[in-house]
Chains A and B, each alone.
Chain A
Amino acid sequence: MPQRSPSQTVGPYYAIALPWNDGGRVTGCSGERIVLEGHVRDGTGQPVPDALVETWQAPDRDASPSKDGRPHGFGRVSADATGLFRIETAMPRGPVPYLDVTILARGLLRHLHTRVYFADEARVRGEAAMAPLASSPRLATLIARREGAGHYHWDVRLQGEGETVFFAT
């Protein structure tokens, strides 16, 4: 059996290649349009301006292929100088909607996996996948705050006070 290749940091210069044109606008997903914004911050609360945020969700089964070949249901966007990222997509399907999220940055030797839910805490707490966190106050770090029609805010704290829950893969 071949052995898995180890991870290495994405480094400070990934912007040469990884951010795609319009990468923050997710295609192939119908439904209520939403905008997700938030800041990525480090252990002292400082912004992480070189973070790369990726979001994953199931696209529509009947979505026609994208003309430019971009994968449906996938968002990829760099944070700006203030650590702010912005994803435009459709509300994920399912009774307790969520996006899977990957965070990459200089200083992260492996990427981080997390999740952002668009539902109230009681419903997230009842999710089978969240059973390991059922009684943890940290579950709240996975829930986006609704700020208006179709607008959600969700901050990612890599370390320290209010540290976001990250998952083993």
Chain B
Amino acid sequence: MNDMTRPDATDPPYLYPGYRSTTLRAPKQPLVQLPAGTLDVPFATVGKAFVKDGDNDLTVHGKAGAPLGERMILTGRLLDDTGRPIRKSLVEIWQANASGRYHHGGDQHDAPLDPNFAGLGRTMTDDDGRYRFMTVKPGSYPWPNHPNAWRPQHIHFSLLGNAPVQRLVTQMYFPGDPLLALDPIYQSIPEGARERLICRLDLDAGVENYALGYQFDIVLAGAKSTPLGI
């Protein structure tokens, strides 16, 4: 049985009253501990055909040209907690445009949509666990959690890993963002672990006179399972 308020030193608790939506959605009963390995069952990998050329470049899908905003290249590795690369694994991202507006009907923030930016990307990691995206830096936006609540700039990540035990959905933040100190979603992560979600400026990953580089590694739980071939 887990302590629901502080389940471990890495993940946020389910109930974090500063983030209001947790109040009615966080389970109140303790999580049940299954026998070790129960969720460490192999998962059929995603095939190459699932990702098309260009799916990792969020700047080339506009009919009328390039999206507005500060162009950036984001690279990193997907690893397990023993440091092994997670190879040929799907990485999915989504984000707001440079003005802080999502291409989603539910987003009513009064900031312009960009007809040249849908804000989604996917790629497969290579044999070294590496991934790479070209995109624009997302803007901050207000949300109705509390008065004057603004989310820090962030990119959402979804990782499947090789087994259900490795599933992870998270958000990547940017260094030096003054909104991090005020954001309950970021602050819900235990102290000492939060910083793992902040990417690093990496000029070498960029392209001179074209795009700034950032670097962000993602570490999933360890799994004994290796992917099932498909």
Give chain A's interface residues, CB within 8 Å of chain B. 1-18, 28, 42-44, 46, 48, 54, 56, 58-59, 63, 65-74, 100, 102, 104-113, 128-129, 131-133, 138, 158-160, 163-169
Contacts and interface: CB of A to CB of B under 8 A. Distances in A.
Given A5-B219, A100-B41, A129-B38, 16 more contacts: A3-B219, A5-B10, A9-B171, A12-B107, A15-B104, A16-B94, A16-B118, A16-B120, A28-B44, A42-B24, A43-B28, A68-B50, A72-B44, A107-B23, A109-B22, A132-B34
A134 B113 CA distance: 53
A65 B43 CA distance: 14
B92 A59 contact: no
B148 interface: no
B120 to A, nearest CB: 4
A14 to B, nearest CB: 6
B28 to A, nearest CB: 5
B118 A6 contact: no
Contacts of B218: 5
Interface residues of B, number: 79
Interface string B160-178: 1000110111110000000
B122 A17 contact: yes
A163 B29 contact: yes
B188 A131 contact: no
For the complex, would chain B's binding face be called helix, strand, loop or mixed by DSSP majority? loop
Contacts of B188: 109
Interface in B64-115: 79, 81-83, 92-94, 102-104, 106-107
B34 A167 contact: yes
Contacts of B147: none
B32 A65 contact: no
A111 to B, nearest CB: 6
B164 A69 contact: no
B27 interface: yes
B32 to A, nearest CB: 5
A135 to B, nearest CB: 13
Nearest to A104: B169
B181 interface: no
B220 interface: yes
B149 interface: no
A71 B230 contact: yes
13 contacts: A4-B10, A5-B197, A7-B168, A11-B171, A17-B92, A17-B156, A56-B41, A71-B230, A72-B44, A109-B19, A129-B35, A158-B26, A159-B24
